Amino acid sequence: MEVVLGPDRSAPPPHGSAVTIGAYDGVHLGHRHLLAELRRQAAAGGLDSVVVTFDRHPATVVRPESAPLLLTDLEQKLELLAGTGVDRTVVVPFDEERAGESAEDFVLEVLVGALGARAVVVGEDFHFGHGRRGNVALLGDLGTRHGFTVTGVALDADAGGQPVSSTRIRALLGAGDVAGAATLLGRPHQVRGVVVHGDGRGGPDLGFPTANVALPAGLALPGEGIYACWYERPDGAVHPAAASLGRRPTFHDRADGPLLEAFLLDFDGDLYGEQAKVAFVRRLREERRFDSAEALVRQMHEDVTAARAALAAGPAR
């Protein structure tokens, strides 16, 4: 997949393009359903399939006080989009100037000028442009004038008939239902961060040395608790892990924010400074305070046993 940073650097494909536009936060199964339709129309028309997305969620500029926590950062989003088989992703910088741009100007600059759009595929409730005035109906009118078709697609539904959405996935994560979130994402939810030094208690005092993963700001996290996870190292090696996401109430009366500590099963090595990817598979239990370090250690042994059972099938491929 070709990635282009900014529409001004994107030359229109020689035969035109089939384009979709959106934040694509999470690249979940609903998004993949829409992207499959995009690729189908592109193949039928001999067009390049193109995703237009943004370098940040538009809500962080338009309504920062209520902007959602993200399911994926830009790096992971681009990786996931590449895995869908689209030909090109154009990353549009979203700032105050872009937020004030009319829907018509966006279409002329990006869809017509930069991409030579012949087909546009978006969610049926898609809105864009200043004041969210642009929608599928307006796109259809502009398409008639500028030579592209428009298809509004209903996002795919889950087994219960409910549309798959980033909002639903965030709610499941917040409740600690990482297995339910994975069903809608099509993969376990992943958190990425650098391994940093902690308070040094895990190995010497408890016998469970942990990788303390710095949590990035602005990303959605599972609810606090103990989880079975897959820990991926920069070289691609994947290790089973039992992870604590919380505030360590046995040792701290309060903490400024949640900490992510992953104990890699059957591993001995230095992880400091490396970029970790932690994929949450199952919530094992809630976080709680223990009366002594010894009681905590006994529970940690049980957590490791539970994590092994939860991860016995191996990582999803």
The residues annotated with a catalytic role in the active site are 261
Q: Which of 258, 186, 264, 182 is nearest to 223 (CA)?
A: 258
User: Contact at 8 Å (CB) between 9 and 110?
Assistant: no
HSE at residue 56, side-chain half, CA atoms within 13 A, is 16
User: Contact at 8 Å (CB) between 263 and 202?
Assistant: yes
Q: Which of 150, 156, 231, 159 is nearest to 188 (CA)?
A: 231
Q: Which of 230, 259, 223 is nearest to 244 (CA)?
A: 259
**Cβ-proximal residues to 61 (8 Å cutoff; 6+ apart), any chain:** 94, 95, 96, 98, 99
CA distance 281 to 300: 18
Q: What is the dihedral of CA 236, 239, 240, 243, to 10 degrees?
A: -90
DSSP state letters, 77-136? HHHHHHHTT-SEEEEE---HHHHTS-HHHHIIIIIIIIT-EEEEEEETT--BSGGG-B-H
Any idea what the Cα angle at residue 242 is, between residues 289 and 221, rounded to 5°? Answer: 75
**Cβ-proximal residues to 63 (8 Å cutoff; 6+ apart), any chain:** none
Q: Which amino acid is at 176?
A: G
